[in-house]
Amino acid sequence: MKEMIQISAVIITYNEEKKIARCIDSLKGVADEVLIVDSFSTDQTQLIATSKGARVIEKAFDGYTDQKNFAVQQAKYDYILSLDADEYLSEDLLKSMIEVKSNWQADGYSMNRLNSYAGKWIRSCGWYPDNKIRLFDRRRGKWQGDLVHEVVVMNKDSKVVSLDGDLLHEAYDNANQLIWKMQGRYADLFAQANAHKKKVTAFKIVYKTLASFLKSYILKGGIWDGYEGLVISVSNANGVFYKYAKLLEINRASKQGAKRKE
């Protein structure tokens, strides 16, 4: 029988006093260390984390990818479980990870993430299974990504195994949160990351927006999730509309600026 490995759970935070305790509590039996990298929270996040036995490091936020890689490197152990504060382990996933601790056979482990909207677990709209690598050997992989999305990327010859059980993600409490993230933050980051790289026209904005709604609501089954499925599908389409609209405006502004210089 293989020797049981030791796992560092790493979490980046900023003003997560309402959710950090649940996240840490779900790690009992799996994490041999809980490390919090906090971006100078102004609420009780750090106090709650330390009361739960976590080690807290402060670091100014400089992007999700860099922040998460920094957290990984500060961890005590090479085997990393990387979570967000609004995520926590289901009982089935906890059981799977406890088994892996005593029988580590891969370089990384992926899991399905189950997201919620207004307290309802959503399996439609393309939100599920939302497979993620979150448990990995830091010597074999790291976080990579642009301004919009970050993922754990393993070395080319790495072995990745999928675990049973869901990573539970309390994603959005209401329409305001969903709209703000899709229409505001995600759209801004997408436009910044793709400025002068992607061509976009008014026609492209229209068909991309319509295609997004139909894919989410019809093809991905949002219609079967009632009001929540409709809100998510419309929000997905809304996010697509604004991210391409903002990209178009950035590209146009750049061209106009170049012409004025001429």
Q: Are residues 222 and 179 in the same domain?
A: yes
Do residues 168 and 180 both lie within one domain? no
Q: What amino acid is encoded at 113 in this protein? A: R
Whether pLDDT at 5 is above 60: yes
Domain with 180, as residue range(s), is: 175-261
Number of domains in the chain: 2
Answer whether residue 36 is part of any domain. yes
Predicted model pTM: 0.88
| pLDDT tens by residue, 170-214 | 999 999 999 888 877 788 888 888 888 889 999 999 999 999 999
In this structure, are 194 and 241 located in the same domain?
yes
Strand pairing category for 33-38 and 7-13:
parallel
Dihedral over alpha carbons 230, 235, 238, 244 (to 10 degrees)? -130
Secondary structure (3-state) at 252? helix
Q: Based on the domain organization, do 44 and 156 belong to the same domain?
A: yes
Q: Flag whether 2 is in a domain.
A: no
Chosen domain end from 156, 172, 188 = 172
Question: What average pLDDT does this structure show over 212-237?
Answer: 96
Backbone angles phi, psi at 138, to 5 degrees: -65, -15
Is 241 domain-assigned? yes
Decide which of 172, 203, 235 is a domain's last residue.
172
Interval 227-242 mean pLDDT: 95
Contacts of 38 (CB under 8 A, 6+ apart): 12, 13, 14, 45, 46, 49, 56, 57, 58, 59
Quick check: 1 pLDDT over 60?
no
> For residue 259, what pLDDT band results from cuts at 50, 70 and 90?
low
72 shares its domain with 100: yes
Q: Are residues 179 and 136 in the same domain?
A: no
* 66 domain-assigned: yes
Looking at 152, 172, 192, the residue that finishes a domain is 172
- Dihedrals phi, psi of 19, to nearest 5 degrees: -125, -20
CB burial of 149-161 (b: ≥16 within 10 Å; e: otherwise) equals ebebebeeeeebe
What would the mean pLDDT of 27-47 be, rounded to a whole number?
98
In a shared domain, residues 106 and 120? yes
Q: Is residue 12 part of a domain?
A: yes
Residues 160 and 211 in one domain: no
CB distance 30 to 101 below 8 Å: yes
pLDDT of residue 146 exceeding 80, the answer is: no
From residue 38, alpha-carbon distances to 47, 56, 59, 66, 230 in Å are 11, 7, 6, 13, 35
Domain co-membership, 140 together with 183:
no
pLDDT digits (tens, 9 = 90+) for 6-19: 999 999 999 999 99
Banded model confidence at residue 260, pLDDT cuts 50, 70, 90: low
In a domain, 1, yes or no: no
- Say yes or no: 18 and 102 in one domain: yes
One domain for residues 164 and 202 = no
Q: Are residues 165 and 244 in the same domain?
A: no
The CATH number for 45's domain is 3.90.550.10
